[in-house]
Structure 1
């Protein structure tokens, strides 16, 4: 009589992990047709997941992504995006949860201790570990405060190396703690993003995911103050600091 052994499961986030989170000029852009479908893939991470699916059949790879409930195109476009860039993960292995909800509550059959989550957002990882294990994807603009002390993998490694690191984390007690990639350092790097700079974009995205009102970011005075403080910091050679006076309440560690 054969004994059924459940595969270990890897759940992979999309926005900021498989797909780049691109800048927007207005919050309304996040709700427009084509926004999610047109996100650029983070090629090294996408290829790493393909590598795992091909070479590690003992691991069951799934997508676990939050979506904007008010966007009528979000789930359809996320599926279309996956069909184009990661068709190896079929529809049965794609899980979508509304923004503001705990992702693990939407996993069929519930979370297992052997499950692993690859995500760029510390808040999601903290909800996941414990009971399971979380891996933070360092995407170049997150991990600003460095408080996630568990497994971390850089997005700019070679795909095979990213895949190997994920497998080692899942199969052993070994911990991998990569340092984050360098942040943009020039004024142009920030100004080319338009009215929303990198920090604001991340706050908007994570604020939306957690169900907060992000309308303060539509205030031109707010944006101007934030941009000016960063411009002056860059000119003076000082580290870029958040404007604590107007920091939004949902500022979780990224």
Structure 2
């Protein structure tokens, strides 16, 4: 089965902070403005592997969708460099959303679009299919989501689950 036959109109958006890169819980806000903060985030290797599997199977459909601090002189550039270091994403497929805007509104999400994110508010606002990414520090409230991916699961299986969701 060629997954591209099913996904011609659907896009996969993958969040960076807390999905592809570690989320540092309890970090003071001023740290987010320091040079090197985003550049030194550790990758969540299973999520990066999943993303790379998706990119290899449907490169035109896969995007990194990440918020950035508009008033930070470092955030956007460091996030770009981080993504280029740890993933196989085409730089044209990295979308930077000003932190004051909704991801769903920014990309004009359609019903066929899928968002993999760790942040409940982003998922709640998403116009397409929201997928909760469970990382080492989130989901403490054990909220139930229709679709979840866990960082502890096999990245190839997670990529397959994403492809199946997109084909529904």
Structure 2 length normalisation: TM-score?
0.88
User: Do 2:13 and 2:114's aligned partners in 1 also have CA atoms closer than 8 Å?
Assistant: yes
Residue segments in structure 2 that go unaligned for 5+ positions in a row:
1-6
Instruction: Describe the shift of the 1:58–1:67 C-alpha distance in structure 2 as closer, same or farther (beyond 3 A).
Output: closer
CA positional deviation for 1:59: 6.1
Once the two structures are TM-superposed, the CA of residue 71 in structure 1 deviates from its matched residue by: 1.2
1:143 and 2:139 correspond:
yes
- 1:94 matches 2:94: yes
Q: Structure 2 matches for 1:93-132, cutoff 5 A?
A: 93-107=93-107, 110-128=108-126, 131-132=127-128
* 1:163-202 deviation per Cα after TM superposition (whole angstroms, max 9, x unaligned): 1111122212xxxxxxxxxxxxxxxxxxxxxxxxxxxxxx
1:215-236, Cα deviation, whole Å (9 max, x unpaired): xxxxxxxxxxxxxxxxxxxxxx
Question: Which of 47, 51, 54 matches 2:53?
Answer: 51
Give the aligned partner of residue 13 of structure 1.
15
- Structure 2 CA distance, aligned partners of 1:31 and 1:17? 20
RMSD: 1.8
- Decide whether the 8 Å contact of 1:118 with 1:135 is kept in 2: yes
Residue equivalent to 1:205: none
2:30 alignment partner, SS class: helix
| 1:90 Cα deviation after fit | 1.5
3-state DSSP class of the match of 1:66?
strand
Unaligned runs of 5+ in 1: 173-254
CA distance in 2, matches of 1:73, 1:169: 35
Equivalent-residue separation in structure 2 for 1:117 and 1:59 (angstroms)? 15
Q: Distance in 2 between matches of 1:150 and 1:49?
A: 21
1:193-212 matched pairs, under 5 angstroms? none
Aligned-partner Cα distance in 2 for 1:25–1:147: 24
Whole-angstrom CA distance in 2 between matches of 1:140 and 1:28: 23
Q: Where does residue 3 of structure 2 map in the other structure?
A: none
CA distance in 1, matches of 2:59, 2:38: 31
Alignment of 1:162 onto 2:133: no
TM-superposed deviation, 1:26: 3.9
Cα distance in 2 for partners of 1:133, 1:25 equals: 30
Alignment match, 1:181: none
